[in-house]
Structure 1
Amino acid sequence: MTSNLLASATSALPNELALVVIDHLQGNNKALCALARTCRDMQDLAEERLYKRIELLSVKNLHAIIEAFTSRPERVRAVQTLKILYSYKDDSLKDSAEIRTTFNECVARMVNLREWHIESPYDNFHWENDGGQAWVNGDMQRFRRALDTACVEGPIETDKIAAERRLGKNLERTVGLGLLENVTIHSHGTATDFWNLEGFHCLFRHPALKHLHISCVAFPDSGIPELAAHTKKTPLISLVFDECELRPKSLLSILRTPARLKSLTLGENVFNINRSRRAKPLLNKDAGGSLEALSAVAHSLESLTHLNPGWRLDKSPQVLRSIRPPGDGMRDFHLLKYLECDTNSFLHQAIIMNRDLAPPSLETLRIRRHWDVPVDFWDQPPDFDHYAALPSLDTLELLQSSYMW
């Protein structure tokens, strides 16, 4: 079969070879732009690759990208990876709220977006300066509304498309963000380093999301009732909490939603404690409630990491303490192969120190100690008998972080 993509009056290049030529130019934007100017068919194919990945390092780039989207809406549909990484040092950032609003409306129409990375330019203590509040009440709320729409209307449209395909028809997607698979989001509050979850519970009920990395969120003390109807319905397989204020009841609501979560990082507020927060090992405070929350993913979890600020408060970290929680601990975690935590983590004190409560198939255990802890693993190694008692353990790693000097 021949094609009009690359053709003259006397010859034509087969479709397959034309596509190979275009794929070979992936990443060469200058060549793809030149190719897009040759004909309408080539423009479609070249721009699918040109706009597939967008990284915004400055708000100055927004004017050009909005103009491109406005002149040809097909370019919005082409975006599959979007990274919003505006620089705080950008002189144009102060007066960019209006242009960011226009761009965020385009984001809400990205029907083929798979990977989305959002970094507030005002994080790391810049939130108290001019613009931080506008980000929280403007950009973040527009992102939330777009995600919420994807959660509600996305599954309806997916079912409709599947029904039409069975009839031999093909429908184009119209719901933005409905195909998201990978999200990283890092923001802040209007007057603090942490942002409240509130309506962003939609992240945990997204119908397509598989990988979620969420930073600097303060979760509620109570459960999240909006997630109750989504128990074991989402495709999430990896979840990373980074510098978050985690609480057992809201964590339980979240961990009930994935059908088969495989990897989980419980990153509590370890380092972000200098301004608006102090070190609070919240999961350690309620070990029983924390283990109950983890039990929601006992059937599927393969890797578990806990990063907690308990080492900041521990006066004798070389002493391995043991607590006895109610219930069977983690005996039902038959697929858990990897566990990483500090010696003062509730996982170490309640599970590792009680071999009859440990995961039956645990192969690798990594024990961490921070550089600010005066007693390191090399001066005073832990009692290895506690770890040797774990019958399935194959590898023990002692991770002693240190300043390079």
Structure 2
Amino acid sequence: MVLSNHRYLAKMASSPLLSVATELLLAVVEAIDDAASLRNFALTCKFARLLAEPILYRAVLVTTGSQAACLAKALQQQQPPTRAELVQVLDLRPRYGRDADLEALTPLIEAMTQLRALSMESPLANYGRWHSSAASHRWEALMQGYRALFLDAQCGAGLQNLKSLTIHWSGDASRFWLLTEFKPILTLPALQSLTISCAVLDDDLTDDLVAFAGTTPLTHLELVECFVSQKALTAVLALPRTLRSCHLGSMRYHTSPANTYHEVSPEQQLEALRQQRHSLQQLTWFDKDFAYDTDVHRVSTVSGIGLYDFTELHTLTLDGASALLFSTLLSERAPPNLDRLRIVRHDEGTVLDHLTDSVAYARIPGIPPPFSLHQHLPNLHHLDVVFFPAGRYITEPLWAKPDRRDHVKRLGEDYHACGIRLAIFSANRGRVIPPYLFGEEAPCEEPAYRAENAWFAGNDIGGIFSSLATDG
């Protein structure tokens, strides 16, 4: 229970609590998860403030302009240590229609010299509200503050210790925003993880980036619903010294920007990625087309070395029908040390109704035959197939039909004979599309089948827990 200020102050004045060893008292304060109680404790004396405020201001979430104004007022006090220096995680998630102006706060971000993680959203993202002139005016004012922030960062003021940056923005008059206007984001000196959505990465972005090639500490790059040119992608992927995780998400759910842009082709994407072949460990590859009936026996054959020299690549997720990647996996150009392959299909799993003959193997469309995978991917141990319907909800469970269950079990046995564990998942998108914003319920993958113990969802209550435990 939170005591009122007067009662709390009177109690603390006569309490021996502050005589406890500092290390023990700090552990007690760290364990308090009620912000109001921490604030009351900080008001008792200077020593209590020094203990409580680093926890109070360590991680801050702002969703309205009123919250931004209150936080800005609190941060402006200058008694050491300054409160701005205590902020390590800052989430700016303004909600549309909730006095979403953040102008009072953004000038103070550069004073947050210990900031490690920053997340920023547009109150207009994923909606069509930028068409409103009033909303556009408010958003442009905020963007001006952001521009100044990142331009200053390149000159040495603020954000020098930032390790993680997530930006889900829109433009002031369209769904997209130009990364060129915020180019210093790409060369922040300590940034290790960058996630952006609905951004345009066009040829103009490449100016002056060549000087930073192979120098940035970025290890994770995620592009969600972005428009990317070949020249821009090549320049961006040249920046990290050792990129370990990459998520290439081209536009699927949003309308393309102006036709004057030239989008990178799958072959050009792969060529740009080759710059990180010495370090890349995880790759998520989006294709614009949904994977309904991709026939992996009829995929196109392309020239080049493919993924053969991506020796560190251990996890590959194919989201959509990628003829280029399928043909690479089923050839001598496959990545030699791949351990897990994830195939995301945008249908309801009806392909599992196709007959499977363990001898002649009349294959299931869009799912590679086990023997072909084993031949070219000798170190593959896990195959995850995720059914992600184009509609909002799966109308029939993947395990509902007895014939389907039999086919899936036989398929799992064939994979098991090759040393590959097959797992099937189902996912529902609901009413949201990428990028998934604060407060939105992102799709959750639910296990439907695991081959190692022939488990189907619905067989028993404890099955899901035992299968998860054996999955490692």
Same fold (TM over 0.5): yes
Residues 278, 311 of structure 2: 8 Å contact kept: yes
Q: Give the AA of the match of 1:107.
A: I
Q: 1:262-282: per-residue Cα shift (whole Å, max 9, x none)?
A: 111001111123x8689x994
* Greater CA drift, 392-401 or 294-303: 392-401
Give the alignment partner of residue 219 of structure 1, picking from 201, 206, 229.
201
Give the alignment partner of residue 173 of structure 2, picking from 163, 184, 191.
191
Aligned to 2:335: 359
Task: Tell me how far apart the structure 2 counterparts of residues 387 and 319 of structure 1 sit (CA, whole Å).
Answer: 11
1:131 CA displacement = 4.2
SS in structure 1 at match of 2:224:
strand
SS in structure 1 at match of 2:385:
strand
Task: Tell me how far apart the structure 2 counterparts of residues 386 and 335 of structure 1 sit (CA, whole Å).
Answer: 22
Residues 215, 243 of structure 1: 8 Å contact kept: yes
Aligned in 2, Cα 1:222/1:87: closer, same or farther, shift over 3 Å?
closer
Aligned in 2, Cα 1:307/1:135: closer, same or farther, shift over 3 Å?
farther
Give the alignment partner of residue 300 of structure 2, picking from 310, 323, 336.
323
Aligned to 2:286: 307
Task: Tell me how far apart the structure 1 counterparts of residues 133 and 381 of structure 2 sit (CA, whole Å).
Answer: 53
SS in structure 2 at match of 1:304:
strand
Give the alignment partner of residue 16 of structure 1, picking from 20, 23, 31.
23
Q: 1:241-273: per-residue Cα shift (whole Å, max 9, x none)?
A: 111112222111111111111111001111123
* Greater CA drift, 379-388 or 112-121: 379-388
Residues 299, 324 of structure 2: 8 Å contact kept: no
Q: 1:339-358: per-residue Cα shift (whole Å, max 9, x none)?
A: 111463254244224x2111
Aligned to 1:165: none
Task: Tell me how far apart the structure 2 counterparts of residues 230 and 276 of structure 1 sit (CA, whole Å).
Answer: 28
Alignment of 1:65-214 (within 5 A): 65-72=71-78, 74-90=82-98, 92-93=99-100, 96=101, 100-123=102-125, 124-134=127-137, 137-153=140-156, 175-214=157-196
Task: Tell me how far apart the structure 1 counterparts of residues 31 and 303 of structure 2 sit (CA, whole Å).
Answer: 60
SS in structure 2 at match of 1:101:
coil
SS in structure 2 at match of 1:127:
helix
SS in structure 2 at match of 1:198:
helix
1:116 CA displacement = 0.8
Task: Tell me how far apart the structure 1 counterparts of residues 74 and 190 of structure 2 sit (CA, whole Å).
Answer: 28
**In the alignment, structure 1 residue 243 sits paired with structure 2 residue 225:** yes
Task: Tell me how far apart the structure 1 counterparts of residues 138 and 229 of structure 2 sit (CA, whole Å).
Answer: 26
SS in structure 2 at match of 1:122:
coil
1:134 CA displacement = 3.3
Q: 1:70-121: per-residue Cα shift (whole Å, max 9, x none)?
A: 234611111111111111132x34xx4xxx2221111222111111110100
SS in structure 1 at match of 2:196:
strand
- How many percent of aligned residue pairs carry the same amino acid? 28
**In the alignment, structure 1 residue 288 sits paired with structure 2 residue 291:** no
Aligned to 2:344: 368
- The number of aligned residues is 364
**In the alignment, structure 1 residue 269 sits paired with structure 2 residue 251:** yes
1:34 CA displacement = 1.7
Task: Tell me how far apart the structure 2 counterparts of residues 70 and 342 of structure 1 sit (CA, whole Å).
Answer: 47
Task: Tell me how far apart the structure 2 counterparts of residues 231 and 7 of structure 1 sit (CA, whole Å).
Answer: 61
Task: Tell me how far apart the structure 1 counterparts of residues 309 and 13 of structure 2 sit (CA, whole Å).
Answer: 60
Aligned to 1:161: none
Residues 333, 359 of structure 1: 8 Å contact kept: yes
Alignment of 1:357-396 (within 5 A): 357-371=333-347, 376-379=351-354, 380-381=364-365, 382-384=367-369, 385-390=371-376, 391-396=378-383
Task: Tell me how far apart the structure 2 counterparts of residues 356 and 255 of structure 1 sit (CA, whole Å).
Answer: 25
Alignment of 1:41-52 (within 5 A): 41-52=47-58
Q: Give the AA of the match of 2:335.
A: P
Cα RMSD, aligned residues only: 2.9
Aligned in 2, Cα 1:15/1:234: closer, same or farther, shift over 3 Å?
same
Residues 117, 163 of structure 2: 8 Å contact kept: yes
Task: Tell me how far apart the structure 1 counterparts of residues 279 and 206 of structure 2 sit (CA, whole Å).
Answer: 22
Could you tell me the TM-score, scaled by structure 2's length? 0.70
1:65 CA displacement = 1.5
Task: Tell me how far apart the structure 2 counterparts of residues 208 and 319 of structure 1 sit (CA, whole Å).
Answer: 42
Residues 35, 46 of structure 1: 8 Å contact kept: yes
1:388 CA displacement = 3.0
Could you tell me the TM-score, scaled by structure 1's length? 0.81
Aligned to 1:401: 388
SS in structure 2 at match of 1:357:
coil
Aligned to 1:232: 214
Aligned to 1:156: none
Residues 122, 131 of structure 1: 8 Å contact kept: no
Task: Tell me how far apart the structure 2 counterparts of residues 136 and 227 of structure 1 sit (CA, whole Å).
Answer: 28
Aligned in 2, Cα 1:135/1:261: closer, same or farther, shift over 3 Å?
farther
Residues 288, 320 of structure 2: 8 Å contact kept: no
Residues 321, 349 of structure 1: 8 Å contact kept: no
Residues 320, 343 of structure 1: 8 Å contact kept: no
Aligned in 2, Cα 1:300/1:383: closer, same or farther, shift over 3 Å?
closer
SS in structure 2 at match of 1:183:
strand
Aligned in 2, Cα 1:338/1:261: closer, same or farther, shift over 3 Å?
same
